[in-house]
Amino acid sequence: MNQTMKYSLAILLALTIVAGCSNKAEVTPTTSPTEKESSKPATGTATPSPATSPAASAKTTPKPTSAATAAPTSSQAPPKSGAVQVIAKPESVTVLVNKQNSLPSSYEPTDLVYPDIPFVFAEKIEKRKMRSTAAGAIEKLFAGAEKDNIHLSGVSAYRSFATQKSVFQRYVLKDGEEKAKTYSAVPGTSEHETGLAIDVTGSDGKCAAEDCFGGTKEANWLEKHAAEYGFIIRYPKGKADITGYQYEPWHIRYVGVDVAKEIAAKKVTMEEYYNAVPVAK
């Protein structure tokens, strides 16, 4: 091999070595992917990964409990129109009893007595009774009427729930339920059950609890003087759309002198006096 050939082989070997070193540098990076990520700003501690977000949210925003859903039961919604509610204090002298406000079926006044007044019947039975305060007042009313030469008699005062149920059913059989409700109360909603109401008539017993009582001298006296003794004409003329009952000049209700005089002076019903919703539309 001559000198020129040796020189050429040496140059070729050198070029091969250089090419091999260059290829190795391209396929072997100096920094791993993990090291590149760690060189960026650390956001993992400030922004939790999706795997831990639900747990953190559960701690800061608790789910509704059964106690929260039970809370509304303590504040009831207003009753629907026509709904009947049971009266909480049936013993009140000014209790409002009507088609929307019922006495408890078990209610019975504890102070019932027999007022010393004449009735159209002789028997000493339940419907002669009244509560003691009302009994004393009706005695004074009858005495006052006598001084004006007006002679009154009682027709019916207290009725128990059972008695009112029997009375109402009898009227339903006679006239049908719809008509019966215009002049008789469903058990629990009768003022007679309070022991504070009484039906009265003239001493002759004519027109007892009948329309013909209206316009009589006895009816006129009651309308003018009942309030002086703590009574009101509970179902006045022209107020059936409010009270739910036709005109009953014989039915008087004890509410106390002050309230009775106010109601009479304003010429309103108990419903209007107490700003109660009309019971009939």
Please state which architecture CATH assigns to domain 103-273: 2-Layer Sandwich (3.30)
Determine contact, residues 250/152, Cβ cutoff 8 Å: no
Q: How far apart are CA 124 and CA 251, in angstroms?
A: 21
Nearest residue to 244 (alpha-carbon basis) of 277, 267, 198: 277
pLDDT tens digits along 161-209:
999 999 999 999 999 999 999 999 999 999 999 999 999 999 999 999 9
DSSP reduced 3-state for 77: coil
Task: Report how far residue 184's alpha carbon sits from residue 196's, in angstroms, rounded to the nearest whole number.
Answer: 17
- In this structure, are strands 130-131 and 112-113 parallel, antiparallel, or unpaired? antiparallel
Residue 57 three-state SS? helix
Confidence of residue 36 (pLDDT cuts 50, 70, 90): very low
Average pLDDT, the chain: 80
Whole-number pLDDT of residue 69: 32
β-partners of residue 237 are none
pLDDT, tens only, 209-267: 999 999 999 999 999 999 999 999 999 999 999 999 999 999 999 999 999 999 999 99
pLDDT tens digit sequence for 133-161 = 999 999 999 999 999 999 999 999 999 99
Active site residues: 248
| Residue-wise pLDDT tens digits, 105-129 | 999 999 999 999 999 999 999 999 9
Domain ranges within the chain, ordered by starting residue: 103-273
Q: Where are the beta strands (DSSP E) in the chain?
A: 85-86, 101-102, 112-113, 130-131, 152-156, 197-202, 231-235, 248-254
Residue 90 is classified by DSSP as T
Model confidence at 26, in pLDDT bands (50, 70, 90)?
very low
Global pTM value: 0.71
Burial 228-258 (b: 16+ CB within 10 A, else e): ebbbbbbbbeebbebbbbebbbbbbbbbbee
Tokens 């050939």 identify what position? 5
Contact indicator for 242, 269 with CB cutoff of 8 Å: yes
pLDDT in the model for residue 83: 82
